[in-house]
A and B are shown apart, each in its own frame.
Chain A
Amino acid sequence: MKNMLRTFVAVALLLCVNAAYAQTRITGTVKDTSGQGLPGVSVTVKGTTSGVITDADGTFSVTAAEGSVLIFSFIGYESVERTVSGASPVDVTLTESVTLLDEVVMIGYGTTTKKELTGAVTSIKAKDFNTGSFNDPMGLVQGKVAGLLISKPDGADPLAGYQILLRGANTLTSGQQPLVIIDGVIGADLNNLNFQDVETFDVLKDGSAAAIYGTRGTNGVIIITTKGARQGKGTFEYSVQGSTQLAPRSVKNLSASEFKYAVEHYPVSAGPSVLLGSKTDWFDEITRDNPVSYQQNLALSGGTETFSHRTSVTHSTENGLLANNQMERLLVKSNIKQKVLQEKLTLDFNIINNVSKYKPANYEIFRQAFIQNPTQPVYDDSDPRTGGYYYDDELDYRNPVAMLNERKRDGKTNNMVLNMRATLQITDNLSWDNFISTQKSEWEENSYKTQFYPSLVGTNTTPGVAGEAEISNGRNSNSQVESVLNYGTSFGDHNLQLIAGYSFQEFSENSSYVGNSNFDTDVYGYNNIGAGSYFYQGKGYLGSYKESSRLIATFARGTYNFKERYLLSASLRREGSSKFGDNHKWGLFPAVSLGWRIHEENFLSEVSWIDELKIRAGFGVTGNQDFSPYKSRILLARSGSLYYNEQWINAFEPSQNPNPDLRWEKKKELNIGADFGLFNNKLSGSLEYYMRKTVDLLWTFQVSTPPYLYKELFANVGTISNQGIELTLNAQVMKKGSFQWGMIFTASHNKNKLNKLSNAEFTQKSYEVGFLGGTITANTQRIEEGKPLGTFYGPVWLGVKDGRDVFKNQNPVGEVDREDWEDIGNANPFAFLGWTNSFNYKNWGLRFAFRAGLGGKVLNSYRLYYESWKSLSIRNIVHTQYENPEFTAAITYSSKYVEDATFLKLDNIALNYNFNLQSKLISRLNVFASAQNVFWLTKYKGIDPEVNLGGLEPGIDRLSYYPRSTSVTIGLNAAF
């Protein structure tokens, strides 16, 4: 093997030397219109993949053959081409572009330009990012990509990330989030990236674009490129942001005086004995006032043409609304680029270390604070067993302050990403890219509940106190090896680019946990877990698990264009996953797309107001394998104990119904789009129409026993379809002197339908989901053939009469039989809109971003459980009861609680100021103030109608929730 490699390198080197033979060295400077040197400009030799980047002063040096063409391109500027003649310096001035036609777009295993793009790909650069402080980089592009829903169903929890959904629900299994690729790492963890290190987002929306990532492209692909090493003089950047949260919004209940009045005047379940004389604001007791968070980032970069680096260090501490709830993170990211072998071999080395410590929130505490009797005191020392807290033995009723204080919960993660890319420029036209990456994550979560934790009070068995400790931890890894050959050539008006590659990925994960109770003392916390007596009483618990899976693929893509006018791209990926049945492991994922830049045709050249018009069509097939491994196999697990031959032995059984026929779920998508630039490119944008159909849906289906052992089988059945339109508009509304007004508008509409869910073997046509337990105990939604996912089913509410709900088709006892329940709305909004405005005047910048959801329903669980005088017992009820004061009956589920989810939100508003410094020390200084989640307008009676829209039970605003707040940030960015 070693010998072979040596031979190969020698051959490659020989090729390089040969190729370099007829070349000359060209130097020059690239400047902007104001005469400043432009650093970071890409200088490539046309028709090849070789090139350099300008240094801090805008100078460059490149080797190219006489007569070849150099392309100078830079984000935000019009590209320029120059033919090389002789060895004279080439000086170029780049002008700022408006339409960004030559903007580089990442398309997976390569790049293209916006004008040559044939798939539905949205590219967002730093200038359009939201301003503020984000715990998840996706916050930068919220509302900026039509069809990409980025929301935060868990509100102000510092541990919660964004939910990302693209073009509707295309699958029934758990994996509905788009595939994230960060600097080539497939399935990268967004937590390992600080938002300030992001350079661009490229979202591959349609099947023809995503098919190059075959198996995991069904939900779209988000390619994130981070700021990497750059040659030039050493720069040092520093930024700091401090934020606080204002106006916490929680579900409103009755205040102590309202509660007292209600007990005395309304037909509630409670008698006067529940009035305990205190005035407790439970929400206030468990939350911080204006929690402060901060984030600091340091970045060092610089280097020569052959050696450059960038290192960024981020430290952040975020405090949640819930007292105790915290996230602290130290993230170091370093990138080193080195060119060796006469600059023919580029080595790109990345290392990321992300250490975080956190204290997670128990959302149940918010619900307990809500239901808690407001006349009840927080503390009460009459019973030594309760640790000084007021304690009530009532079922499912716990003092939230005790829940908060008497449990210590700590989490830690330690993530490491290491990768290296080696790109060998074999000839001017051919390069060979090799990538090795490993992403490892270790986590640990520990918890100790003291003897005074409400659910443990009075449960101790001698000896010891009733404390309960749990330790769990795990590790997972994602290793990737890829090798890609990249060939590019131009002859005449023909431009051709070909890639072919191999990809190998292995995932593994293992975890273990242990739990014990009844410790000698609370002093140990979770640090002496053996000291509890549950183990020798036979009640302690522990376990461990390990799994692994593999994905292997070969792929190829060709892109061709004639005169940059007629565009064609075709790709094929053959991919195998270890998770499928033996005969179905491999799948083929083809894609083809076409583009026609019509405005280049003669008949449109006369139309002056059209600067750019391209129509595109693409078709692609993608897959889904995001489920846990081993579903196809017969695995045995312990089924219990059996008394056999005078002793107890373990019995074994298949742990699941095996499905050896498990195969790929495939999504086929047709996308038709148009890109346009009008009125001197003052208005540009794109319009997309798509039709997606996913067949052989992977899901856990109900089956008959016999023939099966158990009632569930993970199998491929049915079809789901989505179709929709997306519009993106970029407008340069005004540009007058130093005043600029820019606007981005996005709109998307998606229509989902579950076409089929059954066949001869799987006969069940509908499934009841959206189960809400406790006093309600109803399935609120139904997954049914012919209907969209997220359809609420229930009795139709007509009004209140004699204190009771009146329903359509109610039976003599006033209930609606299950058969008479109706479709009472769908959780998915009809359309989403995004509207960003940015104003620049001299050194000032102001931007704000609105987002809206039109239509859609949301189930208000708090009203459903707690909106009746009858529900007021020792438990509090919702304040909206005042809107329906005549209702006194027991609550049952109906359309009464399924509300309109339409909303308009001001997501982000930011003001920034750039100092004009003539200092040699400080090259840039910028300060800003921003606010996120500023306000929202909605008719929804709960807090925020924008709830979880993923999965199979979307649109349910659950009892376990995290409140919302407005966060205000001030920040400073400086470069030295």
Chain B
Amino acid sequence: MKKYITLVTVGLLFVTTSCFDLSEHIYSNIPAENFFQTEKDVIAYAGRAYVKLQPFPEEQRLWSLGELAADELVIPTKHNGEWYDQGRWDDIHKLNIAPNNKILTQAWDMVFQGISACNEILSVISTINFDNKERVLAEIKILRAFYYYWGIDYWGNIPFSTSYGSKELPPQKNRAFVYAFIMQEIDENIDFLQETPSSQYYGRVTKAMAYMLQAKMYMNAQEWIGENHFADAVTSCDNIIALGAYEIEDDYFTNFKIHNEDSKENIFVIPYHSQLTTEHFYWSYLTLNSASRATINMTGVPWDGFVVNPVFFAKYATEDLRRKSFLFGQQYDKAGNPIVIDGVPFIYSPTIANYSSRGEWEGARIAKYEYQEQLNYDVNDMENDFVLFRYADVLYTKLEALYRLGQAGTFISDPDLQKIRTRAGLTPYTVGELTDTELLDELGREFAFEGHRRQDMIRFGVWENAGWNKPSTTPNKRLFPIPQTAINTNNNLIQNP
């Protein structure tokens, strides 16, 4: 009998343990529960909030949507039908954007996946103890505020959530609500941020970055929430100036070199590595014609789509050195010889005869960021770091705020401010020269293709104006439509008017 009891007991044990074990064995991924072992792991986890910014200047994301909707960038259909893409570029150019527009959707996804990532990171790492925890938490919160800033800029009324783990669909909040949230986040976290820029904090959220974000919020407060905060914007800019850590570079293009990490002007950048970063910086592909390969010894074949709006190009004086941000006229190979293709000199003409059928070499091309050799999409991409905020922006923001307050004279002879003009080969401004048109044009020339133009045009009240091959629009087009995919998956969202 004893034998049977043993048998049954052992049998039962066998049956209840391994015989019914359904735990999963994971080999090629890291189960989350085993991940956080060292502080480096925490940073590697939290750091993805920064990685989510890397798509920013790609072909179909935040940057291209804003620039194409504004008057800097155009993507006309080529003579051979390329770049028509079911009219998705043309629709953006004419502000006739359908909610299922692919670029619109991907821009939205970048913002809200960034916000979700920040929410998740905060919920996970706030329960772990590690060195400099307050600073890391503050960085992530300011990054989240930065994503929200783009969210209310582009769409105004957006889903709002600061937590992770609940399945509840977030409610839709208006600009005033989100504005207040962003400002509160900056106030509560700015003291924890790194003050002096150093290579250790390169590419990270610092105090100056948070002040600049604050200044930008104030500058747009009139449009977004109907409040005048220009004086506060000046204070924010002064806080950065007071840090004494930044300066206007002698050469405008130092800020955009292949190794622009040396720039003392850049405040907040997205660092890129030619191979390591999984999202790429590849303007060479977007803008260059394949004949330009000889100029920079390019390995791959560029796609030849993004060109400079001819009207915007014309805003530059001939002597303006910043006009070198573009390729136009006769092109030269690496050795300096003029490029001739099948007997025809390779010339980029800044004008475009027919918007719906752009000639092969029509349109000036973007060359603001220095192009390295052997560029090859997804194999060897641009190493330049993309500039989001720089010191010239601080000074020009202060100038514009003071101009709007009628106090431009107090700042107009600031040597750093004047240097922005003189390094471009131009004379410094006098108060009398400053008009709305001139200021807007100058902001355009200084910050061309840096992602500023949309806000500037709206702030200066010219957004609705007709443009090059673009009819005038109604004020409701100041907001982009909410993508259909977002409305489909969250029934709290109501489409913008």
Q: Which residues of A contact B (CB under 8 A)?
A: 1, 4, 7-8, 461, 502, 504, 510, 538-539, 544-550, 552, 576-579, 585, 629-630, 633-637, 639-646, 648-655, 702-711, 761-765, 777, 818
Residue of A461, A643, A653, A761 near B117 (CB, 8 A) is: A653
CB <8 Å contact, A539 and B379: yes
For A649, the chain B residues whose CB sits under 8 A away are: 40, 43-44, 47
CB <8 Å contact, B113 and A710: yes
CB <8 Å contact, B273 and A641: yes
For B161, the chain A residues whose CB sits under 8 A away are: 706-707
Give CA–CA (A762, B276) in the complex, Å.
36
User: Beyond the given A710-B116, A777-B85, could you list 17 further A-B residue pairs with CB under 8 A, ordered by the A residue number?
Assistant: A4-B7, A548-B24, A633-B24, A634-B32, A636-B45, A641-B51, A641-B276, A642-B43, A642-B48, A651-B44, A652-B44, A653-B117, A654-B32, A704-B486, A705-B109, A708-B116, A761-B167
* A to B CB contacts below 8 Å, 12 in the list: A547-B28, A552-B20, A578-B22, A633-B32, A643-B202, A649-B43, A652-B44, A703-B489, A704-B159, A706-B159, A706-B161, A711-B485
CB <8 Å contact, A579 and B24: yes
| B30 interface hit (Cβ, 8 Å) | yes
For A461, the chain B residues whose CB sits under 8 A away are: 299
CB <8 Å contact, A7 and B299: no
Give CA–CA (A635, B24) in the complex, Å.
12
CB <8 Å contact, A630 and B24: yes
CB <8 Å contact, A764 and B489: yes
| B360 interface hit (Cβ, 8 Å) | no
| B127 interface hit (Cβ, 8 Å) | no
CB <8 Å contact, B32 and A636: yes
Give CA–CA (A650, B51) in the complex, Å.
10
CB <8 Å contact, A702 and B30: no
Residue of A639, A648, A764 near B48 (CB, 8 A) is: A639
Closest chain A residue to B52, Cβ basis: A639
CB <8 Å contact, A653 and B48: yes
Give CA–CA (A634, B31) in the complex, Å.
6
Residue of B19, B28, B117 near A709 (CB, 8 A) is: B117
For A7, the chain B residues whose CB sits under 8 A away are: 3, 7
- Chain B contacts with A in 472-497, Cβ cutoff 8 A: 485-486, 488-491
- Chain B contacts with A in 1-32, Cβ cutoff 8 A: 3, 6-7, 10-11, 19-32
Smallest beta-carbon distance B128→chain A, Å: 14
| B464 interface hit (Cβ, 8 Å) | no
Residue of A4, A504, A652 near B45 (CB, 8 A) is: A652
Q: Which of A546, A552, A577, A653 has the most CB of B within 10 A?
A: A653
Smallest beta-carbon distance A609→chain B, Å: 55
CB <8 Å contact, A4 and B169: no
For A504, the chain B residues whose CB sits under 8 A away are: 19
Residue of A635, A646, A777 near B199 (CB, 8 A) is: A646
Smallest beta-carbon distance B445→chain A, Å: 30
CB <8 Å contact, A550 and B22: yes
Give CA–CA (A52, B113) in the complex, Å.
68
Whether A637 contacts B25 in the complex (CB less than 8 A), given A653-B48, A708-B116, comes out as no
For B276, the chain A residues whose CB sits under 8 A away are: 640-641, 648
CB <8 Å contact, A704 and B48: no
Whether A578 contacts B485 in the complex (CB less than 8 A), given A643-B202, A704-B169, A763-B491, comes out as no
For A639, the chain B residues whose CB sits under 8 A away are: 48, 51, 278
Smallest beta-carbon distance A638→chain B, Å: 8
Closest chain B residue to A638, Cβ basis: B278
For A651, the chain B residues whose CB sits under 8 A away are: 44-45, 47-48, 50-51
| B275 interface hit (Cβ, 8 Å) | yes
Smallest beta-carbon distance A754→chain B, Å: 16
Give CA–CA (A642, B204) in the complex, Å.
10
Give CA–CA (A380, B177) in the complex, Å.
69
Closest chain A residue to B300, Cβ basis: A459
Give CA–CA (A704, B113) in the complex, Å.
9
Give CA–CA (A504, B22) in the complex, Å.
10
Q: Which 4 A-B pairs have the closest CB atoms?
A: A634-B32, A635-B29, A546-B27, A640-B278
Whether A642 contacts B44 in the complex (CB less than 8 A), given A545-B28, A636-B29, A707-B168, comes out as yes
Smallest beta-carbon distance A865→chain B, Å: 15
CB <8 Å contact, B170 and A706: yes
For A652, the chain B residues whose CB sits under 8 A away are: 30, 35, 41, 44-45, 48
Smallest beta-carbon distance B194→chain A, Å: 12
Give CA–CA (A548, B22) in the complex, Å.
11
Closest chain A residue to B113, Cβ basis: A705
- Chain B contacts with A in 224-268, Cβ cutoff 8 A: none
CB <8 Å contact, B27 and A547: yes
Give CA–CA (A577, B86) in the complex, Å.
45
Residue interface bits B107-120, CB-to-A below 8 A is 1, else 0: 00100110111011
Give CA–CA (A710, B202) in the complex, Å.
28
Residue of A544, A549, A552 near B24 (CB, 8 A) is: A549
Give CA–CA (A765, B491) in the complex, Å.
11
Q: Which of B31, B32, B109 has the most CB of A within 10 A?
A: B32
| B100 interface hit (Cβ, 8 Å) | yes
| B66 interface hit (Cβ, 8 Å) | no
For B380, the chain A residues whose CB sits under 8 A away are: 538
Give CA–CA (A706, B116) in the complex, Å.
5
Give CA–CA (A761, B489) in the complex, Å.
8
For A636, the chain B residues whose CB sits under 8 A away are: 29-32, 35, 45
CB <8 Å contact, B10 and A641: no
Give CA–CA (A548, B100) in the complex, Å.
39
For A710, the chain B residues whose CB sits under 8 A away are: 113, 116
Whether A538 contacts B164 in the complex (CB less than 8 A), given A645-B200, A711-B109, comes out as no
Smallest beta-carbon distance B325→chain A, Å: 25
CB <8 Å contact, A546 and B28: yes
For A544, the chain B residues whose CB sits under 8 A away are: 28
Q: Which of A544, A711, A777 has the most CB of B within 10 A?
A: A711
Residue of B24, B112, B170, B278 near A629 (CB, 8 A) is: B24
| B435 interface hit (Cβ, 8 Å) | no
For B115, the chain A residues whose CB sits under 8 A away are: 705-706
Smallest beta-carbon distance A540→chain B, Å: 10
For B275, the chain A residues whose CB sits under 8 A away are: 538
| B126 interface hit (Cβ, 8 Å) | no
Smallest beta-carbon distance A765→chain B, Å: 8
Give CA–CA (A148, B444) in the complex, Å.
67
For B23, the chain A residues whose CB sits under 8 A away are: 578
For B169, the chain A residues whose CB sits under 8 A away are: 704, 707, 761, 763
| B129 interface hit (Cβ, 8 Å) | no
Smallest beta-carbon distance A773→chain B, Å: 11
Closest chain B residue to A551, Cβ basis: B22
CB <8 Å contact, B116 and A702: no
For B85, the chain A residues whose CB sits under 8 A away are: 777
For B30, the chain A residues whose CB sits under 8 A away are: 635-637, 652
For B27, the chain A residues whose CB sits under 8 A away are: 510, 545-548
Give CA–CA (A637, B488) in the complex, Å.
29
Closest chain A residue to B489, Cβ basis: A704
For B32, the chain A residues whose CB sits under 8 A away are: 633-636, 654
| B465 interface hit (Cβ, 8 Å) | no
Smallest beta-carbon distance B147→chain A, Å: 11
For A4, the chain B residues whose CB sits under 8 A away are: 6-7, 10-11
Give CA–CA (A637, B32) in the complex, Å.
10
Q: Which of A4, A8, A552, A651 has the most CB of B within 10 A?
A: A651
Give CA–CA (A544, B27) in the complex, Å.
10
For B25, the chain A residues whose CB sits under 8 A away are: 548
Smallest beta-carbon distance B26→chain A, Å: 6
| B54 interface hit (Cβ, 8 Å) | yes
Give CA–CA (A702, B109) in the complex, Å.
12
Give CA–CA (A650, B203) in the complex, Å.
15
CB <8 Å contact, B7 and A642: no
For A630, the chain B residues whose CB sits under 8 A away are: 24, 26, 29
Smallest beta-carbon distance B427→chain A, Å: 39
Closest chain B residue to A646, Cβ basis: B199
Closest chain B residue to A661, Cβ basis: B167
